[in-house]
Amino acid sequence: MEELLSYQSNLLANTNKDWYRYLYPRIASNERLLGLKGLRGVGKTTLLLQYLANGHQDLETGMYVTADHPYFYQHSLFDLASQWYSHKGRLLLVDEIHKYPNWSRELKLIYDGHPDLQLIFTSSSALDLYRGESDLSRRLMTLELHGMSFREYLSLVEGLNFPSFSLEEVLNNATSITRELTTSFQPLSYFKSYLKEGYFPFIKEINRDTLQFRLLRIVNTVLESDLTYIEDYSASNIMKIKKLLGVIAASAPFEPNISKIAHKLQIGRNTVVSYLGRLYEARILTLISKPGRGITALQKPDKIYFENSAFAYAFQNQPNIGTIRETFFGNQIKNAGHKLSLSSQADFVVDGKYEFEVGGKSKDSRQIKGLDNSFLALDDMEIGIGHKIPLWLFGFLY
């Protein structure tokens, strides 16, 4: 156990304790079993270490481990938890639980056998935390950490700190909110930078010239590591998924013809839909359907986007600006917890009642004429006017 504490100490010494993601306050809860999901690179490990450093200053009751540490070659997670509990440890943080075999069974044993121990763990977004050998549904609370909002990017990179706003506040008070915000900064140049580079917190630490390589490496790691652990995908499976991503990248937003894709990749139609579902769960893609049609297994989505605009730029040096705008809007809306569907007349329906057309500042209202609760989300404008809302303001939802 000493090597784990030494490893923890080295990590804590290099942990940022000056800036926190939006989800941090919700980590500090009394939940005994908490699962934190999220795309690679969004800051899950940092969140755990910050919670450890701030909540257990003496570090005598809290321990951080990563599930792929060599310690677990010879020891079980349950044995570690028991040993730590006997040393009066009351917090155990486990990173990348999806890399640990029989994770659900041992989590249940730890929960049931150590009533005073709080267990918080992270996993890939692709892992179904309620699907395992043991039923965790009555014990487990889950949270998902998304990539940075435009508001968080301004705080981390530019030192500009602003509050978040609810969707209703944005829709009802866009003019007054944007007038107030723009007294402190000019959003448009920052917004263009955010769309290319601002979704992942590591942008603060790396050379921007290496960003595309870093983003593509995230995608490759999700495919070659996470999905291999979770789904036991073979190298052949992964290669076909990469080819599928290549097809999507060439024409996103993509209105998929599943039969044509299946023929091109020489795989079954249901396999294509299954792969798309896994890429959605892993937060590589966003799949959107018409109202009343959820994203379910073996159901074809009506439209496909990359999960965030940074991925779109990573796969294409000059992606279509209209696609980027729609990708950003959908991403921020979904990350803020709202339901997103395709509209039969405009671009999107949010929460089943708000209609949105997304575009540049010259776009008029023809697409939403006659629609109740309809709005234009427009790029290249600073101040909201009536139902015309600056696109960048939707980056302040969380």
Q: Of 90, 112, 145, which closes a domain?
A: 145
Same-domain status, 97 and 129: yes
Residue 32 pLDDT greater than 70, yes or no: yes
Output the domain CATH number for residue 83: 3.40.50.300
Q: Which amino acid, residue 29?
A: S
Q: By C-alpha distance, which of 258, 358, 352 is closest to 298?
A: 258
Q: 328-354 b/e with 16+ CB inside 10 Å = b?
A: bbbbbbbbbeeebbbbeebbbbbeeeb
How many distinct structural domains can be found in the chain?
Answer: 2
* 184-224 residue pLDDT tens: 999 999 999 999 999 999 999 999 999 999 999 999 999 99
Q: pLDDT band at 368, cuts 50/70/90?
A: very high
Residue 276 pLDDT greater than 60, yes or no: yes
Q: Of 145, 171, 194, which closes a domain?
A: 145
Same-domain status, 165 and 22: no
Same-domain status, 161 and 98: no
Same-domain status, 286 and 372: yes
Q: Of 145, 171, 191, which closes a domain?
A: 145
Q: How far apart are CA 241 and CA 101, in angstroms?
A: 24
Same-domain status, 222 and 310: yes
Q: How far apart are CA 359 and CA 90, in angstroms?
A: 51
Same-domain status, 127 and 220: no
Q: State mean pLDDT over 274-293.
A: 90
Same-domain status, 196 and 318: yes
- Structural domain including 26 reads 2-145
Cβ neighbors of 250 (< 8 A, separation 6 or more) are none
**Looking at the chain, which runs of residues are DSSP E strands?**
33-38, 62-66, 91-95, 118-124, 141-145, 285-288, 303-306, 340-342, 348-350, 354-359, 374-378, 388-390
Same-domain status, 76 and 164: no
Same-domain status, 159 and 113: no
The predicted pLDDT at position 363 comes to: 93
* 203-212 residue pLDDT tens: 999 999 999 9
What are the angstrom distances between the C-alpha of 305 and each of 137, 151, 176? 31, 22, 32
Same-domain status, 108 and 220: no
Q: How far apart are CA 324 and CA 377, in angstroms?
A: 13
Question: Residue 387 corresponds to which tokens in the numbers above?
Answer: 């139902």
Average pLDDT, the chain: 92
Question: Residue 298 corresponds to which tokens in the numbers above?
Answer: 């073996």
Same-domain status, 210 and 102: no
* 353-363 residue pLDDT tens: 999 999 999 99
For residues 48 and 122, the answer to whether their CB atoms sit within 8 Å is: yes
The predicted pLDDT at position 187 comes to: 98
* 80-100 residue pLDDT tens: 999 999 998 999 999 999 999
Q: What is the dihedral of CA 366, 367, 369, 371, to 10 degrees?
A: -170
Q: Range with the lowest mean pLDDT among 116-130, 164-178, 376-390?
A: 116-130
What are the angstrom distances between the C-alpha of 268 and each of 254, 285, 303? 19, 20, 20
Same-domain status, 301 and 242: yes
Q: Is 328 helix (H, G, I), strand (E, B) or coil?
A: helix
